[in-house]
């Protein structure tokens, strides 16, 4: 029997890069995006000139504009949309998916206004019976599209489904590792964006490499504190989904969150900085939910808190740094 195509929902840079990984293996892949004109441009150019130029589409990658025609025909769906649109995307496909279809996402963040992890959103919308997974870790779309070596984590509701997703994506240059810690994998990918904004702010202020290293290390401590309080495993935060993604996002200018923070440190206004980047800066939306969860659980997250205060206009970047440096002295483990 002929295998059904794989469906990637989201035609931004990351969705396109993952579709390319799958299609270059010879698998039939359908790529859907909400902007029909953008899909037409990609079909004509056979590349994503807006978000991932110079990466040609193989013949096995096709653009599909109509969800109602394609969702009922697939067994594996990869959701790659911003976290603020995650529930809406699932609500659109919920009446269309087959009973046996499996859903994986490569979205990093928490649901805005509720603070829910995305697997909680998926369970609410699609039911508790459906296999769910997240693909996460240190991975820039451009490098993946260029075939540079990349390692990621696939965390799923069952080890069997995690292994199935690994088999879908594994290539000579793209190596996924399995996990069943959905909570930890998601929180690592969400919180690292907040810390990356902090590091970007510090670099924009010209505070140097020592400060950058301190923020990354103490930011990891904040990630572990909140993550384990919510049920994540400490080991997950020390792996690709936590430390790996944190280091990448905090140290390379391909990171939108780092670039956004850098612009703030240079004196740029928040909305203007986002507009200049031109794509979603997930940490801007995530930090509010992270702080809300931390306060509910009385978890100390001073770096994330200062990022939140800067974005709320309560502090300038310089004032936020001063607030961090004036905190009570304590043991490093605390």
List 77's β-bridge partners, or say none.
Answer: 7, 103
Residues 258 and 304 in one domain: yes
Residues 84 and 125 in one domain: yes
Q: Stretch 53-78: mean pLDDT, rounded?
A: 97
Q: Determine the Cα–Cα distance for residues 122 and 118; give it in Å rounded to an integer.
A: 6
What pLDDT, in 10s, does the model give residues 114-134?
999 999 999 999 999 999 999
Residues 189 and 84 in one domain: no
CATH number for the domain harbouring residue 142: 3.40.50.720
Measured between alpha carbons, how far is residue 130 from residues 15, 96, 125, 165, 220 in Å?
A: 22, 14, 10, 14, 32
Q: Of the candidates 180, 201, 216, which is a domain's last residue?
A: 180
User: 234 or 333: whose pLDDT is higher?
Assistant: 234
What pLDDT, in 10s, does the model give residues 147-174?
999 999 999 999 999 999 999 999 999 9
Instruction: Report, in angstroms and rounded to the nearest whole number, the Rg of the chain calculated over CA atoms.
Output: 20
Residues 154 and 264 in one domain: no
Q: Which one, of 147, 188, 154, lies nearest residue 168 by Cα?
A: 154
What pLDDT, in 10s, does the model give residues 322-334?
999 888 888 887 5
Q: Determine the Cα–Cα distance for residues 163 and 324; give it in Å rounded to an integer.
A: 42
Residues 160 and 197 in one domain: no
Q: Identify whether 57 is part of a domain.
A: yes
What pLDDT, in 10s, does the model give residues 274-304?
999 999 999 999 999 999 999 999 999 999 9
Residues 111 and 245 in one domain: no
Residues 165 and 193 in one domain: no
Structural domain containing residue 82: 6-180
Q: Stretch 77-105: mean pLDDT, rounded?
A: 98
- Positions annotated as catalytic residues are 192
Question: Could you tell me if 293 and 303 are in contact, meaning their C-beta atoms sit under 8 angstroms apart?
Answer: no
How would you class 18 by CB atoms within 10 Å of its CB: exposed for 0-12, middle for 13-18, buried for 19 or more? Answer: buried
pLDDT band at 198 (very low <50, low <70, confident <90, very high): very high
Residues 14 and 159 in one domain: yes
CATH number for the domain harbouring residue 220: 1.10.1040.10
> Quick one: pLDDT at residue 301?
98
Asked if the model's pLDDT at residue 321 lies above 70, the reply is yes
Residue with the two structure tokens 């986002």: 274
In whole numbers, what is the pLDDT of the chain averaged over residues? 97
Q: Identify whether 1 is part of a domain.
A: no
Residues 171 and 199 in one domain: no
Asked if the model's pLDDT at residue 85 lies above 80, the reply is yes
Question: Could you tell me if 220 and 242 are in contact, meaning their C-beta atoms sit under 8 angstroms apart?
Answer: yes
Q: Of the candidates 180, 195, 213, which is a domain's last residue?
A: 180
Q: Identify whether 53 is part of a domain.
A: yes
Strands of the chain, DSSP E = 6-9, 29-32, 61-63, 76-79, 102-105, 132-136, 150-156, 174-179
pTM attached to this predicted model: 0.95
Q: Which one, of 41, 45, 40, lies nearest residue 55 by Cα?
A: 45
> Quick one: pLDDT at residue 334?
57
Q: Identify whether 143 is part of a domain.
A: yes
Q: Identify whether 331 is part of a domain.
A: no
Question: Could you tell me if 249 and 198 are in contact, meaning their C-beta atoms sit under 8 angstroms apart?
Answer: no
> Quick one: pLDDT at residue 331?
86
What pLDDT, in 10s, does the model give residues 250-269?
999 999 999 999 999 999 99
Residues 168 and 262 in one domain: no
Residues 107 and 159 in one domain: yes
- State how many domains the chain has: 2
The strand pair at 61-63 and 102-105 is best described as unpaired
Q: Of the candidates 152, 180, 208, which is a domain's last residue?
A: 180
Q: Identify whether 330 is part of a domain.
A: no
Q: Identify whether 312 is part of a domain.
A: yes
Residues 270 and 293 in one domain: yes
Q: Identify whether 259 is part of a domain.
A: yes
Asked if the model's pLDDT at residue 32 lies above 80, the reply is yes
Q: Determine the Cα–Cα distance for residues 187 and 208; give it in Å rounded to an integer.
A: 28
């Amino acid at each position: 029997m002929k295998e059904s195509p794989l469906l990637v929902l989201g035609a931004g840079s990351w969705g396109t890069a993952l579709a390319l990984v799958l299609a270059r293996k010879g698998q039939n892949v359908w790529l859907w995006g909400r902007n029909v004109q953008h899909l037409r441009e990609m079909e004509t150019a056979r590349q994503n000139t807006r978000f991932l130029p110079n990466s040609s589409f193989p013949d096995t990658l096709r653009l599909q504009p109509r969800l109602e025609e394609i969702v009922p025909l697939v067994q594996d769906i990869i959701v790659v949309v911003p976290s603020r649109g995650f529930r809406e995307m699932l609500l659109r496909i919920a009446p269309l998916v087959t009973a046996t279809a499996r859903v994986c996402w490569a979205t990093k963040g928490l649901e805005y206004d509720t603070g829910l992890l995305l697997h909680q959103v998926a369970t609410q919308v699609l039911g508790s019976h459906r296999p769910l997974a997240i693909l996460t870790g240190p991975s820039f779309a451009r490098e993946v599209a260029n075939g540079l070596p990349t390692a990621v984590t696939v965390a799923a509701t069952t080890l069997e489904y995690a292994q199935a997703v690994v088999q879908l994506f594994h290539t000579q240059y793209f190596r996924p590792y399995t996990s069943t810690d959905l909570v930890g994998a998601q929180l690592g990918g969400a919180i690292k964006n907040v810390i990356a904004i902090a590091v970007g702010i510090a670099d924009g202020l010209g505070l140097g490499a020592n400060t950058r290293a301190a923020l990354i290390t103490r930011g990891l401590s904040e990630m572990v504190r909140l993550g384990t309080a919510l049920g994540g495993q400490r080991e997950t935060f020390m792996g690709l989904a936590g430390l790996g993604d944190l280091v990448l996002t905090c140290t390379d200018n391909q990171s939108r969150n780092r670039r956004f923070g850098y612009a703030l440190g240079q004196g740029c206004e928040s909305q203007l900085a986002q507009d200049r980047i031109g794509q979603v800066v997930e940490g801007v939306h995530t930090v509010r939910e992270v702080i809300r969860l931390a306060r509910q659980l009385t978890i100390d997250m001073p770096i994330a808190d200062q990022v939140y205060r800067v974005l709320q206009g309560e502090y300038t970047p310089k004032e936020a740094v001063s607030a961090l440096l004036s905190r009570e002295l304590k043991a490093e483990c605390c």
